[in-house]
A and B are shown apart, each in its own frame.
Chain A
Amino acid sequence: MDTIKLTIDNREVEVPKGTTILKAAAQMGIDIPTLCNFELEGLALKNHPGGCRICVVEVVGRRNLAPACITECMPDMVVKTNSLRAINARKTVLELMLSDHPNDCLQCAKSGKCELQALAAKLGIREIPYKGEQSHYQVKVSPSIVRDIDKCIMCRRCESVCHEYQSVGAIGAVDRGFPAVVSTAFGKDLIDTNCVFCGQCIVVCPVGALTEVDNTSKVLRDIANPAVKTCVQVAPAVRVALGEEFGMPAGSIVTGKLTAALKQIGFDYVFDTDWSADLTIMEEGTELIGRLTSFLKGDKSVKLPMMTSCCPAWVNFYEKFYPELKENPSTAKSPQQMFGAIAKTYFADKIGVKREELVSVSVMPCVAKKFECERDEFKTNGNPDVDYSITTRELARLIKICNIDFTKLPEAEFDSPLGESTGAAVIFGATGGVMEAAVRTAYEVLTKQSLPKIDFTELRGLEGIREAKVNIPGVAELNLAIVYGLGNARKIMEQIKAGTCPYHFIEVMACPGGCIDGGGQPYHHGDAEIIKARHKAIYEADANMPIRKSHENPSIQAIYKDFLVEPCGEKSHHLLHTTYFDKKTKFDLEK
């Protein structure tokens, strides 16, 4: 590879051709601050508009300062990142940004996690010399996402994620000049747009302009209410990320401490979404086997490829963009909603309370789950199966509010009966996990033989679109695809529409790498290593489990025996399956 020699801050460095000044400097231990620049390396998510101008550096011989994030190194370039001229410009640019910012850090949801705040601290901003007009917009609250656009610094990361990565296009730059801001078309509420509530905009937002709807006070209120019982379920991806909020290294598996914390917060029953993930595999796997069997028998009316339906942002996506294909995804509810449906029926009965007297809360790596809870079809007489959902970040906040020193907590176990789970369930948290869990079960159910090898490594990985073939002896060779990112999902949907899609079964997750980088997870600030560590931890957690196939979960076997009778049976259909709606924007034509 061609390399280039240059000088940065009086030190020589040799880098491959095409390297930016920012990266060359970083490899020398020079930390040039950035704001708009964002990249999740290896996960195809990036934003390089060169617009914030925080990273400007002096390149000797050039008329203007250069943005380090997008200026490529040139041979014999002499760069000064800390000359007075560069520092003055950087500070002035930051002061300008702050002059149109509310600077209400004390009550900002992003306080302590805010990149702008950190930058102001790093550059030692003590006063803002520029006074003048400030932008004022209404704070907009949707079921999942709060938009406080006054705080927007026009880094456009959210726009890149929403338009290019997710191909949704709900938020983008509007107006121009000083009033230019990232917003929705016509300033509408997100609920009235094509937003699918994936929450990736929140993940990438460097400031507090985009945050999750905070339900922590609802939790505290309900726990304190003697008239109700509270139960909580925790999604698989939460346990590999929560530790980061308490200074633990990325990829720490904190299941035991997490369970202990939830008990200490005061939940009456601490359960595991992994339990209902196993249930999902039973239902979805059975549905897949059913569709495949009919198809192999020659029934051409069967909707294939079948697609997973556990990701609520993905569900929103096909309801809004591809309603004509809404028969393809599995009718199985997501694990969150399966759990809620069982909790408010089977479990409520079991502990002798009415569904209204049981508050069911979920802890999710996701903000779309908040919207999912509110869907009408997941309510009985107006009472939701899951009352509300909190994110991993909100749980961390709750733990802090409740004076719990997380790192020192002794480990605890989930409660029974909705707490037992398998390794197949925990991998739901990573891209390819649902597929692998389904394949483990489908293989054994179809062949009635034990799997020679539980790990389907061909289904694992962090590429946005992966395909694999799995041979089920005596049945068929399955063509499988695993997709994350809705832009990738769109490509698959177009293939299906064009009739060129070769797959039998497709797993789709909206977020990069799956739920491990969900919209509700601790902020990674663009560090892809964090996501890789969580990914690794998920499979570690699987390997550590004594049981690793959903159909072998004794508690699942028991509930079919006691209550549900059989997968995809009548009771399951009623409680564990759903239908999808055409939510495409329509025109009401007046004559």
Chain B
Amino acid sequence: MCGSKIKISEANYLKVKEICASFNNNPGELINVLHQTQGHFGYLPEEVQQVVAECLQIPVGRVYGVVSFYSFFTMKPKGKYAISVCLGTACYVKGGDKILDALKSELKINEGEVTPDGKFSIDVLRCVGACGLAPVMTINGKTYGRLVPEQVKDILAQY
């Protein structure tokens, strides 16, 4: 009889430990730790959260409670090119939802999903603060503004 065994590659395990150590394994830094960890892995799979819990000496439930609370954190890998469509008020009143629809029909996936080849993922976010350019979407952080649905196809073709 023994406890749970969590499978993880040694390299990933050491990476998470290194990130936690860089924050002195301080549980108060959990959110910063998760930011860095997600920055490295692209997402926060279960085994990674388990290592974070071990390093910071907190229940893994607390880590998961935080990961599932904040919309920035994700447990699903994103596409190589992560598309975020802004549906903040300024973008919404200027037709941000139509940009989203165009993306969905072009890529044949829904928001929160990744294309089968792993190339693109679509997410919705609330305001990138570029309201002057509404409607806006970002692809891997690059902002595309003043969009009309017809542009979507051409923009995707650049990737």
Contacts and interface: CB of A to CB of B under 8 A. Distances in A.
- Whether A and B touch directly in their complex, counting CB atoms under 8 A apart, is answered as yes
Interface of A: 163, 168-176, 184-186, 192-194, 319-320, 375-377, 581-591
A454 B59 CA distance: 43
B8 interface: yes
B62 A172 contact: yes
B59 A168 contact: yes
Contacts of A583: 1-3
A271 B6 CA distance: 43
A582 B8 CA distance: 20
Contacts of B51: 587
A588 B69 contact: no
Interface string B48-73: 01110010001111111100110000
B2 A582 contact: yes
Contacts of A176: 68-69
A319 B60 CA distance: 17
B1 A174 contact: no
24 contacts: A163-B59, A170-B59, A170-B61, A172-B65, A173-B65, A173-B69, A174-B65, A185-B59, A185-B65, A193-B61, A194-B60, A376-B1, A377-B1, A581-B2, A582-B2, A582-B3, A584-B3, A585-B54, A586-B6, A587-B5, A587-B47, A588-B7, A588-B8, A590-B8
A552 to B, nearest CB: 37
B59 A194 contact: yes
Nearest to A323: B3
Given A585-B50, A587-B50, A591-B10, A175 B61 contact: no
Contacts of B8: 587-590
A186 B62 CA distance: 11
A583 B1 CA distance: 7
Contacts of B54: 585, 587
Contacts of B9: 589-591
B13 interface: yes
Nearest to A319: B3
Given A175-B69, A185-B64, 19 more contacts: A168-B59, A170-B59, A172-B62, A172-B65, A174-B69, A185-B46, A185-B49, A185-B59, A192-B4, A320-B3, A376-B1, A377-B1, A585-B60, A586-B2, A586-B3, A586-B6, A588-B6, A588-B8, A590-B7
A584 B5 CA distance: 9
Task: Bin the interface of chain B by size.
Answer: 20 to 34
B27 to A, nearest CB: 12
A185 B4 contact: no
Contact of B10 (A582, A585, A590): A590
B79 to A, nearest CB: 23
B6 A585 contact: yes
B5 to A, nearest CB: 5
A319 B2 CA distance: 9
Contact of A588 (B5, B60, B68): B5
A469 B6 CA distance: 44
Residue picked from A170, A171, A320, A585, most chain B C-beta under 10 Å: A585
Contact of B68 (A175, A585, A590): A175
A169 B7 contact: no
Given A186-B64, A585-B50, A589-B13, A169 B3 contact: no
A169 B59 contact: yes
Nearest to A177: B69
Interface string B96-138: 0000000000000000000000000000000000000000000
Given A186-B46, A585-B50, A587-B8, A169 B58 contact: yes
Nearest to B3: A583
Residue picked from B3, B47, B69, most chain A C-beta under 10 Å: B3
Contacts of A163: 59, 62
B64 A174 contact: yes
A587 B68 contact: no
B4 A581 contact: no
A45 B63 CA distance: 24
A54 to B, nearest CB: 24
A522 B13 CA distance: 46
A186 B46 CA distance: 7
The 9 closest A-B pairs by CB, nearest first: A169-B59, A583-B3, A185-B64, A589-B10, A185-B61, A185-B60, A588-B5, A172-B61, A174-B68
Nearest to A171: B61
Nearest to A586: B5
A589 B17 CA distance: 13
A169 B68 CA distance: 16
B47 to A, nearest CB: 8
A173 B50 CA distance: 17
B101 to A, nearest CB: 23
A578 to B, nearest CB: 11
A589 B3 CA distance: 15
